[in-house]
Structure 1
Amino acid sequence: MTVLNNLKLVVSKRHQTVSPIVHRRNKLVAKLHEQIELCEAQQAGKTYAPTRLKTFTNKQTGERMTVEATKRVKEWFWIGDNGKINLAIKYGAKTLSLSAKGANAIELKDGAELIATLKELKIATANGELDDAITKVSNATRQAFGK
């Protein structure tokens, strides 16, 4: 007991969860960061291949193994008919509606503007500016599971 007497003991409670809005916001910020890394790698002429740990069971031995596998990152941008870059913001498999008129893509002139726009969107998402659009898409996805 002499060790415990030398330590400063307090009563504390750890917060278990964050609010659903903050959790969704953080998920989108992480995906925007992946898109920024992908664009910067493409601009530098490199490939962006993040890795993740994948666990599987060996069928012959029954042993569980963990292997590092490359994660596939889909591009959120494409070149439109007019030769300009279009950027859609995705939450899961759904595209966010960016305005009340139903616009779902941002038109950009080049790769540098694409990277700058993604960085601005990352900051805007962290500040909560896209919370309504994220909530709308999240609720639609949740209702689709209820059918």
Structure 2
Amino acid sequence: MSTLETLKFVSVTKPTKLPAVVQRRNKLSDKLWEQIQLAEAKSAGTSYAPLKTKRLKDIEGNIKILEVPKRIKPWWFTAQNGKSCLVVRYGSKTLEISQGKSTIELDKPDELIHILEMIKTAVEAGELDAQIERAAGLLKEGFAK
């Protein structure tokens, strides 16, 4: 028996693009991963700044590609009562996770990473698809002017 005979061959075509719901889920999941990395770095006392490429033209017209740190804004803040709060964003819009409520209050600042991981799992499972769709619609309206 040859090695190739042990493999299972099928006739399948690769999809040209993912459905919009899956693309939006993946986008939010990636942003949540960045927030988790940022929160872990803050709790460890270090900084997290991934690099992005930037194209610049010099005086002679030559294009140079530079790697610059990407600015990531934290989604959490300290409220007036002293407790930490977390807001989940899709683009520039805040997701309304519960009816009429978009902020998650944390009992301890140490739970931030755990809560972000829980939200990431919920997003990947499709539990927030309706909220993501609503936020994406609001973002589209802003570009239609």
TM-score, normalised by the number of residues in structure 2? 0.88
Corresponding residue for 2:123?
A: 125
What pairs up with 1:61-80 in 2 under 5 angstroms? Answer: 61-80=60-79
Of the candidates 96, 103, 106, which is equivalent to residue 105 of structure 1? 103
One-letter amino acid of the structure 2 residue matched with residue 40 of structure 1? E
1:41–1:61 distance in 2 versus 1, CA, 3 Å: same
- Between the aligned partners of 2:48 and 2:14, the Cα distance in structure 1 is 37
Alignment match, 1:4: none
Output the CA distance in 1 between the equivalents of 2:12 and 2:93. Answer: 40
How much identity, in percent, do the aligned residues show? 40
Alignment correspondent of 2:54: 54
Deviation (angstroms), 1:26: 0.4
Asked whether 1:143 is paired with 2:141, we answer yes
In 1, the alpha carbon distance for the partners of 2:42 and 2:11 equals 51
Structure 1 unmatched ranges of 5 or more: 1-9
| Separation in 1, partners of 2:109, 2:28 | 21
CA drift of 1:140 comes to 1.4
- 1:11/1:56 CA distance change after superposition, 3 Å: farther
**Paired residues, number:** 136
Residues in 2 aligned to 1:89 and 1:107: alpha-carbon distance in whole angstroms: 12
Residue by residue over 1:96-138, the C-alpha shift from the partner in whole angstroms, topping out at 9 and shown as x without a partner, is 01112x1010000223211100001011101111110010010
SS across alignment from 1:132: helix
| Structure 2 runs not aligned, ≥5 long | 1-9
Residue 56 of structure 1 aligns to a residue whose secondary structure is strand
Spell out the pairing of 1:1-16 with structure 2 (5 A cutoff): 13-16=13-16
CA contact (8 A) 1:43 1:111 kept: no
